[in-house]
């Protein structure tokens, strides 16, 4: 039996299903190895052989935070497009000038080629000097910036993060992106859930219709990428500027056959009934949802599909239509909140700031925000059986905050009150 660790004198928000949101004061949590052994009022703590005690001095303890929608793995940045938008350029004008998603695709292709060169150099036994030079080249500015993005989230109490591909237009580059996400999970104390964003953008020289492109993905790329990476979910961009619902059905069927989760970028810029499409296919989540109608919301509630709200993108692209939060409440749709970190429309790397934005821009309550970055985010990844709440048997992924009340986590703008992060029972 691993030695027991007790967090004492804590104020605990368990986020457990059916529990009151009001934090439990004068509480204790006992950790056994990687898991939570016991939680409750300190006066009820059973007699146990405790190897280590940590006095939280009344600090707030929550589950480790979960960022359930990100595009953290990419190359380059699109700050110049931000400048163009400030000067009045439209998305279409930026795309015609070589910007938009395809600019990130081009940067990914460049990095992929560089890394292939590195791999060739490392396998070359001509001389040791060449191998040393190749090893030095592995640490590119893109990769250093990428790792920092992950570390920034860790420093803010995040213990699980979802990461999408999508900036490649062929199996090789999508595999490259998902492999980089897996690498972060191997070198950092963080769980990484990997999503293959298969239907994101078509290459400009594809020479086929959107429906034909989706069929190409189904017939070729999906199996190749899955064989190489074993991704957790398939995502797709259902939008007028991307793919129509009927065009995506073969990919939805393929995801079902593979047994992976389905996630859909839905109803961000227009109402294409993307939310209902997600519900019809029992998707784990539908994300964005600014234009979702009531029929779609009701279908999501019936299917258990989580609504992932992304206020960073809403803010950054100056959207004016808000997700129908009151309709989601009416039908009992569970809402999560995420950063949607990406180089083009949401270069946001703070989940606490995303929670604040969800409150101020979308009208979520403090409870909705905090459940949205813990237990409901876990449900959006279908990992609520092991993370997202503080309950015996669940993993000891915890965040201890130098605050006294939950509202402080949502109220502060730009601060980081994290006192201690615990991942799989280990203190950072």
**Are residues 325 and 418 both part of a single domain?**
no
Nearest CA among 193, 137, 200 for reference residue 166:
200
Entry pTM: 0.95
Q: At what angle do helices 171-187 and 101-123 cross, to 10 degrees?
A: 70
Q: Tell me the C-alpha distance between 357 and 328, whole Å.
A: 18
Query: Number of structural domains, the chain?
Result: 2
Q: What is the pLDDT of residue 131?
A: 47
**Are residues 227 and 342 both part of a single domain?**
yes
Residue 346, in any domain of the structure: yes
- C-alpha distance from residue 185 to each of 215, 289, 374 (Å): 31, 29, 19
Is 7 a residue whose pLDDT tops 80? Answer: yes
**Are residues 29 and 169 both part of a single domain?**
no
**Are residues 174 and 38 both part of a single domain?**
no
> How large is the average pLDDT for residues 378-394?
98
Domain that holds residue 9: 4-63+390-427
Nearest CA among 29, 15, 33 for reference residue 378:
15
What's 24's domain CATH number? Answer: 2.30.40.10
What does the DSSP 8-state code read for residue 322?
P
What's 178's domain CATH number? Answer: 3.20.20.140
Express each pLDDT in 71-119 by its tens digit.
Answer: 999 998 899 999 998 999 877 688 777 788 889 999 988 888 888 876 6
Q: Is 199 helix (H, G, I), strand (E, B) or coil?
A: strand
**Are residues 42 and 163 both part of a single domain?**
no
Residue 404, in any domain of the structure: yes
Are 342 and 71 in contact, with CB atoms under 8 Å apart?
yes
**Are residues 363 and 394 both part of a single domain?**
no
Nearest CA among 343, 382, 379, 309 for reference residue 16:
379
Residue 88, in any domain of the structure: no
Copy the structure tokens of residue 58: 């009344």
Local confidence band at 361 (pLDDT 50, 70, 90 cut-offs): very high
Query: Half-sphere exposure (CA, 13 Å, Cβ side) for 294?
Result: 5
**Are residues 325 and 396 both part of a single domain?**
no
**Are residues 360 and 414 both part of a single domain?**
no
Residue 207, in any domain of the structure: yes
- C-alpha distance from residue 34 to each of 37, 143, 381, 422 (Å): 9, 30, 20, 10
């Amino acid at each position: 039996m691993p030695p027991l660790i007790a967090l004492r004198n804590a104020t605990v928000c368990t986020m457990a299903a059916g529990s009151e949101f009001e934090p439990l004061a004068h509480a204790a949590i006992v950790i056994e190895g990687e898991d939570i052994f016991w939680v409750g009022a300190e006066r009820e703590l059973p007699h146990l052989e405790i190897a280590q005690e940590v006095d939280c001095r009344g600090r707030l303890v929550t589950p480790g935070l979960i960022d359930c929608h990100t595009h953290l793995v990419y190359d380059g940045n699109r700050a110049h497009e931000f400048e163009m938008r400030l000067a009045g350029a439209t998305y279409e004008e930026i795309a015609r000038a070589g910007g938009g998603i395809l600019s990130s695709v081009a940067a990914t292709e460049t990095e992929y080629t560089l890394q292939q060169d590195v791999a060739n150099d490392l396998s070359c036994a001509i001389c040791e000097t060449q191998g040393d030079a190749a090893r030095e080249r592995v640490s590119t500015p893109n990769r250093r910036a990428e790792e920092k993005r992950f570390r920034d989230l860790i420093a803010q109490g995040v213990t699980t993060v979802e990461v999408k591909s999508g900036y490649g237009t062929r199996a090789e580059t999508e595999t490259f992106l998902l492999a980089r996400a897996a690498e972060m999970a191997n070198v950092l104390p963080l769980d990484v859930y990997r999503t293959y964003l298969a239907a994101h953008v078509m290459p400009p020289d594809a020479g086929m219709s959107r429906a034909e492109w989706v069929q190409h993905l189904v017939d070729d790329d999906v199996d190749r990428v899955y064989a190489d990476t074993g991704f957790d979910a398939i995502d797709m961009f259902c939008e007028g500027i991307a793919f129509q619902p009927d065009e995506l059905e073969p990919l939805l069927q393929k995801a079902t056959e593979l047994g992976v989760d389905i996630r859909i970028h839905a109803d961000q810029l227009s109402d294409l009934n993307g939310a209902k499409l997600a519900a019809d296919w029992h998707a784990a989540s539908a994300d964005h949802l600014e234009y979702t109608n009531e029929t779609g919301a009701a279908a999501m509630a019936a299917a258990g599909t989580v609504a992932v709200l992304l206020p960073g993108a809403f803010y950054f692209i100056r959207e004016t239509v808000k997700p129908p939060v009151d309709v989601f409440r009416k039908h009992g749709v569970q809402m999560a909140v995420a950063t949607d970190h990406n180089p083009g429309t949401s270069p946001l790397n703070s989940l606490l700031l995303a929670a604040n934005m969800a409150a101020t821009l979308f009208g979520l309550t403090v409870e909705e925000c905090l459940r949205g970055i813990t237990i409901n985010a876990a449900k959006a990844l279908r990992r609520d059986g092991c993370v997202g709440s503080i309950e015996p048997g669940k993993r000891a992924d915890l965040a201890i905050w130098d605050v006294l009340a939950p509202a402080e986590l949502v109220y502060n703008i730009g601060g980081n009150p994290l006192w201690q992060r615990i991942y799989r029972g280990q203190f950072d």
